[in-house]
Amino acid sequence: MAEEHKNAVDFKVDRSNLYREESFTDLKVGSIKRLTPVRPDGSEDKTRKKIFVGQTNIITPQGSLPIQGAIQAKELQQAIKKFPEAMEAAMERLIEQVKEHQEKEKDRVEKSESRIIVPGR
């Protein structure tokens, strides 16, 4: 069994897809991560584009809900400017996913209830 479990996950790091991660925050609204592509020796790989990712939390009746989304930007200043727009888009995607999940769950419950045989009907 140990041998079977050992081969279930590939833990090899993809040396051709490495990034250095830096985080910037205002300690209020959220943070922006800048992922800079690097070579296996740690030097910057200028043949690939930097990636910016925004992160924030919204407070709901059930508690804090993390939201994360890509920011289409080339530099940090541009990412800061686009942060609100990117977080709104991420929140809209999250809301759509929740609605889809609720619809699927509703359909599942309705289907399972329709299988119940009630005597006398």
Question: How many domains would you assign to the chain?
Answer: 1
57 is a domain residue: yes
10 is a domain residue: no
Residue pair 33/52 in contact (Cβ under 8 Å)? The answer is yes
25 is a domain residue: yes
84 is a domain residue: yes
- Strand pairing partners for 55? 31, 68
Query: Could you tell me the residue range of the domain that residue 24 belongs to?
Result: 17-114
2 is a domain residue: no
Structure pTM? 0.76
Q: Going edge to edge, which strands form the sheet with 30-38?
A: 18-25, 30-38, 51-60, 63-71
pLDDT single digits (tens) 49-104? 999 999 999 998 999 999 999 999 999 999 999 999 999 999 999 999 989 998 88
1 is a domain residue: no
95 is a domain residue: yes
What pLDDT is attached to residue 118? 65
Report the C-alpha gap between 60 and 86 in whole angstroms: 20
